């Protein structure tokens, strides 16, 4: 196990609703990255937080937002859910944002109906 | 544009035979390269990485990968495949030109037949 935990494991929402996903980093890690993985595809980078500040963002609309807390845990918020948001959402933590390995949590499976 | 290519959607290997999963990349600057494995309905598990130094990198579960700068490749290899190696394998590269975000390949499904 990586020491990275995510909650909830599964979630079902309806279109237009809002959702919050949570991630606890591995001890000693100050960087958290979030990814969206659609079925049968590779992960797509959403954004990264380094010491509580957003440090990079992929090609996702502003309705995808996040937070990192002083203990380096993190939240991913998605507003106005769309059917295409259905995916596995992965969180990864690392000691730094450049060379260190990212260790992944088990993911949250979001289904939007 | 920065990218990672895994040219094979699926690789089939008999148990006990050597396996290779291919990865090529295109980024500006020196790449930092990673391999991960994903089992069904699970998160991604780190296998190995190349940052600098020896071009042959050894990782978890007997896997290794060779960094080839001239061919911009980072192929994953194992001398003797196990049925339990069957999974989805992803190559990823940190792109210095994009704030070091990880860029991922589409994945290669590895099937090891007994």
- Point out the residue among B34, B43, B94 whose CB comes nearest to the CB of A107: B43
Q: What is the pLDDT of residue B48?
A: 96
Residues 6+ apart with CB under 8 A from B45: A2, A104, B36, B37, B38, B39, B60
User: In whole angstroms, what is the distance from residue B78 CA to residue A20 CA?
Assistant: 40
Confidence band, pLDDT 50/70/90 cuts, at residue B29: confident
Give A15-38 as a DSSP string. TT--EEEEEEPPTT--EEEEEEE-
Mean pLDDT of chain B: 92
How far does CA B60 lie from the centroid of its chain?
12
User: In whole angstroms, what is the distance from residue B96 CA to residue B65 CA?
Assistant: 21
What end-to-end distance do the CA atoms of chain A give, in Å? Answer: 32
Nearest residue on chain A to B47, judged by CA atoms? A101
Q: Over pLDDT 70: what percentage of chain A?
A: 100
Q: What is the pLDDT of residue A98?
A: 76
More confident residue, A18 or A58: A18
Q: What is the pLDDT of residue A4?
A: 94
User: In whole angstroms, what is the distance from residue A108 CA to residue A90 CA?
Assistant: 7
pLDDT in tens, B54-107: 999 999 999 999 999 999 999 999 999 999 999 999 999 987 777 778 889 999
Q: How far is CA B45 from CA A7, A107, B15, B37, in A?
A: 18, 12, 22, 5
pLDDT in tens, B58-70: 999 999 999 999 9
More confident residue, B101 or A1: B101
Mean pLDDT (whole number) for A29-41: 92
CB distance from B10 to chain A under 8 Å?
A: no
Q: What is the pLDDT of residue B86?
A: 96
What end-to-end distance do the CA atoms of chain B give, in Å? Answer: 40
Q: What is the pLDDT of residue B101?
A: 82
- Closest by Cα among B19, B30, B11 to B76: B19
Do A43 and B100 count as a contact with CB atoms less than 8 A apart?
no
Q: How far is CA B74 from CA A100, B29, B64, in A?
A: 18, 16, 10
Q: What is the pLDDT of residue A1?
A: 73
Judge whether residue B12 has pLDDT over 80: yes
Extract the tokens encoding A28: 């000693």
Q: In the sheet where A64-68 sits, what is the strand order?
A: A5-7, A19-24, A74-78, A64-68
Judge whether residue A27 has pLDDT over 90: no
More confident residue, A27 or A97: A27
Degrees to nearest 5, angle at CA B31 with B28 and B33: 145
Strand pairing partners for B2?
none
Do A99 and B42 count as a contact with CB atoms less than 8 A apart?
no
Do A104 and B43 count as a contact with CB atoms less than 8 A apart?
yes
Q: Count the neighbouring beta carbons within 10 Å of the beta carbon of residue B78.
A: 21
B25-64 residues touching A, CB cutoff 8 A: 32, 34, 36, 41-46, 49, 51
pLDDT in tens, A40-89: 888 999 999 998 999 889 899 999 999 999 988 999 999 999 999 999 99
Confidence band, pLDDT 50/70/90 cuts, at residue B1: low
- Point out the residue among A42, A97, A101 whose CB comes nearest to the CB of B49: A101
Extract the tokens encoding A110: 């979001």
User: In whole angstroms, what is the distance from residue B46 CA to residue B65 CA?
Assistant: 13
Mean pLDDT (whole number) for A90-105: 88
CB distance from B114 to chain A under 8 Å?
A: no
């Amino acid at each position: 196990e990586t020491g990275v935990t995510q909650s909830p494991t599964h979630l079902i929402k309806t279109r237009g609703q809002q959702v919050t996903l949570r991630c606890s980093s591995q001890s000693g890690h100050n960087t958290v990255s979030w990814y969206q993985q659609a079925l049968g595809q590779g992960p797509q980078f959403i954004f990264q937080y380094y010491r509580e500040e957003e440090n990079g963002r992929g090609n996702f609309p502003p309705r995808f937002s996040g937070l990192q807390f002083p203990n380096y845990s993190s939240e991913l918020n998605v507003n106005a859910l769309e059917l295409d948001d259905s995916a596995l959402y992965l969180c990864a933590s690392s000691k730094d944002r450049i060379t260190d390995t990212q260790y992944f949590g088990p993911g949250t499976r979001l289904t939007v109906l | 544009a920065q990218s990672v290519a895994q040219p094979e959607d699926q690789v089939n290997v008999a148990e006990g035979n050597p396996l290779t999963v291919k990865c090529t990349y295109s980024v500006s600057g020196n790449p930092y390269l990673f391999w991960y494995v994903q089992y069904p309905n699970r998160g991604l598990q780190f296998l190995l990485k190349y940052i600098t130094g020896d071009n042959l990198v050894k990782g978890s579960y007997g896997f290794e990968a060779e960094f080839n700068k001239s061919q911009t490749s980072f192929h994953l290899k194992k001398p003797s495949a196990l049925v339990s190696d069957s999974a989805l394998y992803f190559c990823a590269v940190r792109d210095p030109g994009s704030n070091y975000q990880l860029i991922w390949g589409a994945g290669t499904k590895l099937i090891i037949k007994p």
